[in-house]
Amino acid sequence: MSGTLLTPESGPRTRVRPTGTSFVGLVGVELRRLWWRRMAKVVLVAVVAFVGVSAYAAYQQTRPEALAERIEDYSSIVAETTRQNASIPADEKAAQIEACQRDEAATGADTSGGAPVDFRCEQMFDPPSPESFGIVAAERTAITSSIVESGLWIFGFLAFILGASFVAAEFAAGSMGNWLTFEPRRVRVGTSKLVAAGLGGLAVGGLGVGLATLGATLVTTVNRPGADLPVAAAPIVPGDTAAQSLLRVVAIVGLGGLGGAVIGLLLRSTAGVIGLVVGWLVLVEAFVASAFAEGRLQPWFLRTNIEGFVSDGTTYFATRCGVDGCQTVSMPHSYTASWIYLLVVTSLGVTAALLAFRARDVT
Amino acid sequence: MDVAVRTVNLRKTYLSRGSRRVAVGGLTMSVPHGGVHGFLGPNGSGKTTTIRMLLGLIRADSGTAEVFGEEVPRRLPHVIDRVGAIVESPKFFPTFTARQNLALLAGAIGSPAARVDEVLEATHLRDRGRDRYAGFSLGMKQRLAIAATLLKDPDLLIFDEPTNGLDPAGIREVRDTMRSLGAQGKTVLVSSHILAEVEQVADTVSIIGHGSLLAEGNVRDILGGSGVSQVRVGVASPDRAQQVLEAAGFALTRDGQHLLVGTDDPSAITRALAGHGLYVAELVPVRPDLESAFLALTADEGLGSESDRLAGGHAPGGAS
Ligand SMILES: Nc1ncnc2c1ncn2[C@@H]1O[C@H](COP(=O)(O)OP(=O)(O)O)[C@@H](O)[C@H]1O
Ligand SMILES: [Mg+2]
């Protein structure tokens, strides 16, 4: 190859020096990079696969033949329980129900705010409901939310990894330094990356929820039971409540993407982020949260708040010890407390990540 | 004075294993506007650290730096469009294509998309634009990095050891590129630990050791200032010639059958010897090079051990 790359004649033809780009433009560039990444495709495939498998499971569950089988099982169980219950004396039943109601009252008095927990004492000796045997007509909203409920954690985790590797890869490749020689305003650069990761997370969540809805629609269309099956109608979830809860799932998955980028910006290594997250999930969220202070620390952990946010308030289990020994009680955690918690944690994380990115050397 | 880059008492220390280690210790240097300026120093002398500070990638502990009269890093956003830099080695996303990598950078500065094609063309990478960066040879990576700097049409180009690891053809390419950019009136700041490289392309040079300036100025001045020029003289009877020249006041040393004579005017030697019936069979000016200048400088500073690591004229493709 001949020597000179650039002779004065072959110099740049476009003489105008670039004028820089707006913040939105910068986010656009980051989104493009996010989309080009292999990880984005992996996440995409994983979301599709998860929803596909879940929808298939729902399809199997609600097939008319499967329903017919379960109805048969159910009938024999009902016959059996009725026979057994008939042999228990009426006053013993009453005593058990009363004991149950005392517990219920005690728990209700103990919890502040939140709805009192219904122990369903009165139904103690009723035969199981057909619903608890999965004998319900395939219903779109119910299937969607059951897919999304378990999907939330999968989608959130995928978005988190996507966001974390999106930022950490730049440090790994060393291209962050190169990038900063094109746009040296660190806070602007950092923010654009966080925003892009958050939007990427929203896209993951949106895709997951969208596919779940689609899958549920397909399942209910295919598995509409014939009139010959005595199937209870599914409990009707009000449409806007369902939609709201789906939107909140999308928001949480978006937060997952943002959170990944925040941690990525702080740790600068994908392996480090994954180590931290797995350690956190296993050790802290699963163990520490319930092992200490009789489980009363749980409102301060992510899991409880994510559940509280998505499900419009949630409950967690704590151990309550009284004179008559210890028992597990269910404690309410409100929606409001959940979103405030998530907002505060997110703001702190974003601020810390941007400050650290502004201050630290990039080599 | 018309300076493109100036640093004053620039200082950076790193915390390593609990102790502070001085990477750049009060460096004051200036790079004139236009032409190629060598930034020479042994490995570990603080060249890369200095360049990173100029680019705002790392924060100086103290001291100031300016680029085109703007204080950096504070005013860096105002001058960054005029600065293209390759620090240490080209760094792009390995799984993206050359074109993708450039498109992102172009997007970051609001450069038109057509510019990507232009710079790929200018660096002979047009046919490889759709290939992944990971599959590029080092020479191609280097060219892509140069292409990236050209997206901005910069006035100042900073190349940090650009020929490291390149084959002779690649070294020649980079060298010619730098010369050509300098000839276009751009300022090229090129760091190197290889004397021959700087000597061949640079008009001016800053020499550093242990993070501070040892010498600065025109390459020619620095070479000249390092001591008297010498001439290697071959004659039939060196003993007699030595007597004659010493009598005539020349400083010389004996080197086997040759004499090494210090003078700026070789013809004076010929005249002196001819006057005594001695005829010169060989007369070769021994050009002092940057290496001896460097050795002299670093010896003064007690940096002998570092200068051992200098790859003098033994760089691949270094001689021409
Ligand atoms: N990130 C870092 N952490 C600790 N020490 C560093 C770091 N970067 C460079 N150094 C040290 O600073 C000194 C100067 O390094 P550098 O600027 O890379 O030198 P050069 O580019 O001239 O070879 C060296 O002693 C090096 O070990
Ligand atoms: Mg270096």
What number is the average pLDDT over the span A262-279? 90
Reported ipTM: 0.80
Mark whether B150 and B42 lie in a shared domain: yes
The structural domain count of chain B equals: 2
Domain-located, residue B83: yes
- Looking at beta carbons, which residues of chain B come within 8 Å of A169? 93
Task: Provide the domain limits for residue B243.
Answer: 230-286
What number is the average pLDDT over the span B85-98? 94
Nearest to B85 among A26, A169, A181 (CB): A181
pLDDT of residue B265: 79
Mark whether B22 and B154 lie in a shared domain: yes
Q: Nearest CA to CA, how far is A224 from chain B (Å)? A: 47
pLDDT of residue A132: 73
Q: Comparing A21 with B1, which gets the higher pLDDT?
A: A21
What number is the average pLDDT over the span A62-69? 82
Q: Nearest CA to CA, how far is A282 from chain B (Å)? A: 32
What number is the average pLDDT over the span B126-148? 94
Q: Which residues line ligand 1 (CB under 6 A)?
A: A 363; B 14, 16, 21, 23, 41, 43-49
Q: Comparing A250 with A320, which gets the higher pLDDT?
A: A250
Is residue A232's pLDDT more than 70? no
pLDDT of residue A86: 81
pLDDT band at B36; cut points 50, 70, 90: very high
Mark whether B67 and B183 lie in a shared domain: yes
- Ligand 1 atom closest to the Cα of residue B15 is 4
Is residue B63's pLDDT more than 90? yes
Task: Provide the domain limits for residue A326.
Answer: 28-88+125-226+238-359
What number is the average pLDDT over the span B88-97? 94
pLDDT of residue A110: 54
- Ranked by mean pLDDT, which of B18-27, B56-65, B236-245 comes out on top? B56-65
Domain-located, residue A134: yes
Residues of A with CB under 8 A from a CB of B: 1, 3-8, 10-15, 17-21, 25-26, 28-29, 32-33, 36-38, 169-170, 173-175, 177-185, 359, 361-363
For chain B, what percent of residues have pLDDT higher than 90?
A: 54
pLDDT band at B2; cut points 50, 70, 90: confident
Domain-located, residue A200: yes
Mark whether B184 and B268 lie in a shared domain: no
What number is the average pLDDT over the span B123-136? 94
Domain-located, residue B303: no
CB contact under 8 A, A5 and B180: yes
- Ligand found nearest the CA of B87: 2
Question: What are the pLDDT digits (tens) for A16-40?
Answer: 566 678 999 999 999 999 999 999 9
CATH code of B50's domain: 3.40.50.300
Question: What are the pLDDT digits (tens) for B294-316?
Answer: 766 766 554 444 434 444 434 34
Q: Nearest CA to CA, how far is B12 from chain A (Å)? A: 11
CB contact under 8 A, A3 and B173: yes
Nearest to A14 among B92, B93, B114 (CB): B114
Q: Chain A contact for B131, CB < 8 A? A: no
Domain-located, residue B224: no
pLDDT band at A215; cut points 50, 70, 90: very high
Interaxial angle between packed helices A140-173 and A302-310, expressed in degrees from 0 to 180 and rounded to the nearest 10? 140
Q: Nearest CA to CA, how far is A250 from chain B (Å)? A: 28
What number is the average pLDDT over the span B241-267? 86
What is the CA(B46)–ligand 1 centre distance, in A?
6
The structural domain count of chain A equals: 1
What is the CA(B317)–ligand 1 centre distance, in A?
27
Domain-located, residue B72: yes
Mark whether B119 and B183 lie in a shared domain: yes
pLDDT of residue A352: 98
Boundary-marking domain end, from B189, B218, B247: B218
- Ligand 1 atom closest to the Cα of residue B24 is 14
Q: Chain A contact for B16, CB < 8 A? A: no
By C-alpha distance, the chain B residue nearest A170 is B93
Domain-located, residue B313: no
Domain-located, residue A20: no
- Looking at beta carbons, which residues of chain B come within 8 Å of A185? 77
Mark whether B172 and B267 lie in a shared domain: no
- Looking at beta carbons, which residues of chain A come within 8 Å of B122? 5-6, 10-12
Q: Which two tokens stand for residue A304?
A: 């409880």
Q: Chain A contact for B113, CB < 8 A? A: no
Average pLDDT, chain B: 86
Q: Which two tokens stand for residue B290?
A: 């940057």
pLDDT band at A74; cut points 50, 70, 90: confident
Q: Which two tokens stand for residue B198?
A: 């700087």
What is this structure's pTM?
0.82
* B188 bridge partner residues: B36, B157
Residue of minimum CA distance from atom 11 in ligand 1: B23
pLDDT band at B30; cut points 50, 70, 90: very high
Q: Give the per-residue SS3 of chain B.
A: CCEEEEEEEEEEEEEECCEEEEEEEEEEEEEECCEEEEEECCCCCCHHHHHHHHCCCCCCCEEEEEECCEEECCCHHHHHHHEEEECCCCCCCCCCEHHHHHHHHHHHCCCCCHHHHHHHHHCCCHHHCCCEHHHCCHHHHHHHHHHHHHCCCCCEEEEECCCCCCCHHHHHHHHHHHHHHHHCCCEEEEEECCHHHHHHHCCEEEEEECCEEEEEEEHHHHHHHCCCCEEEEEECCHHHHHHHHHHCCCEEEEECCEEEEECCCHHHHHHHHHCCCCCEEEEEEECCCHHHHHHHHHHHCCCHHHHCCCCHHHCCCCCC
